[in-house]
């Protein structure tokens, strides 16, 4: 039996400072909240792919990788896809969701800056460990989570 290499999606947990608090950028596609991400294209490295995806989906172009290029990955989902997430800050406050030419509409329905507690509440169980990882990188205490 041969093991197929996973399809890699790459994205960024985008954060910004509001006063003395960190807020996280979440994007909603239908009922699913996630961070900006997309498939790594053939011949592309994951970090440049993540930066490209953030710009394509949000027009953010001032990412600062203050915590280096460390990343976390999800377990396999959706026919073996794995999502890799880096952590970066931005000074961009207003998020614009551009129309994706192939779709004729924005890829996401909504963008929202949220605090840690609301981020943990909105994302799916698959993405929750990514939020926890980012919070740990930021030095934030992670609140207890209910299972629903």
What one-character-per-residue DSSP string does 87-129 give? EEE----S---PEETTTTEES-SEEEEE-HHHHHHHS-TTTHH
Phi and psi torsions of 62, nearest 5° = -125, 40
Domain borders along the chain are: 7-93+104-138
2-58 tens-digit pLDDT = 355 579 999 999 999 999 999 999 999 989 999 999 999 999 999 999 999 999 999
**Integer Cα distance of 62 and 44 in angstroms:** 20
In a 3-state reduction of DSSP, which class is residue 133?
A: helix
Residue whose entry in the numeric block shows the structure tokens 């207003």: 94
**Integer Cα distance of 4 and 18 in angstroms:** 43
CATH for the stretch 7-93+104-138: 3.90.79.10
93 — pLDDT class (breaks 50, 70, 90)? very high
pLDDT at position 1: 42
């Amino acid at each position: 039996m041969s093991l197929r290499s996973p399809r890699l999606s790459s994205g960024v947990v985008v954060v910004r400072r509001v006063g003395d608090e960190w807020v996280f950028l979440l994007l909603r596609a239908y009922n699913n909240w996630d961070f900006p991400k997309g498939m790594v294209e053939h011949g592309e490295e994951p970090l440049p792919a993540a930066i490209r995806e953030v710009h394509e989906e949000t027009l953010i172009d001032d990412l600062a990788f203050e915590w280096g290029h460390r990343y976390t990955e999800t377990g396999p989902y959706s026919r073996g896809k794995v999502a890799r997430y880096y952590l970066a800050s931005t000074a961009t406050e207003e998020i614009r969701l551009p129309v994706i030419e192939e779709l004729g509409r924005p890829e996401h329905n909504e963008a929202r800056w949220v605090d840690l507690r609301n981020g943990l509440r909105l994302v799916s169980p698959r993405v929750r460990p990514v939020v926890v990882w980012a919070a740990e990188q930021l030095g934030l205490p992670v609140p207890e989570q209910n299972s629903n």
